[in-house]
Amino acid sequence: MTTFTINAAELNAAKVVEVIASQLPQFEVTKAYSNGTGYYDRLATTVIEGDENLFGFKDEYNRYGIIVKTPIGNLVIFQRYSHLRVASMVTIHLIQFIFRSKL
């Protein structure tokens, strides 16, 4: 289990993501994981091999993010705008797959 202690009294959500992401094993994020509008839909559905369940990343726009592997896909938490580091703008992705069976 990974435990973080952060004095977040003077940090906004975007800065908290940056602090945590920089302390985790790094995952290389490329344009291939983006949907073209700045969101990481494809990263949420990517199978990440290995025993690690938490990763940090910094994308080409200098946005920090956190990836949490779950049984139904990846939870991706990231800064939405790199130029708004003082703002609390964080986006969360979790794509859930729903399978329908024919009766």
Q: Is residue 86 part of a domain?
A: yes
Instruction: Give 103's pLDDT tier (boundaries 50, 70, 90).
Output: very low
Residue 37 lies in a domain: yes
What integer pLDDT is reported at residue 90 of this predicted model?
54
Q: Is residue 47 part of a domain?
A: yes
Residue 87 domain flag: yes
Is 100 domain-assigned? no
Whether the Cβ atoms of residue 65 and residue 21 lie closer than 8 Å to each other: yes
Full residue range of the structural domain in which residue 20 is found: 8-93
Decide if pLDDT at 5 tops 60. Answer: yes
Helix (H) / strand (E) containing 19: helix 13-21
* Residue 98 within a domain: no
Instruction: Report pLDDT digits (tens) over 52-99.
Output: 999 999 998 888 999 999 888 888 888 877 655 544 455 555 554 433
Residue 101 falls inside a structural domain = no
User: How many domains does the structure of the chain reveal?
Assistant: 1
- What residue has token string 């906004």? 12
Q: What is the DSSP letter of 25?
A: P
State how far the Cα of 8 lies from the Cα of 15, in Å rounded to an integer.
9
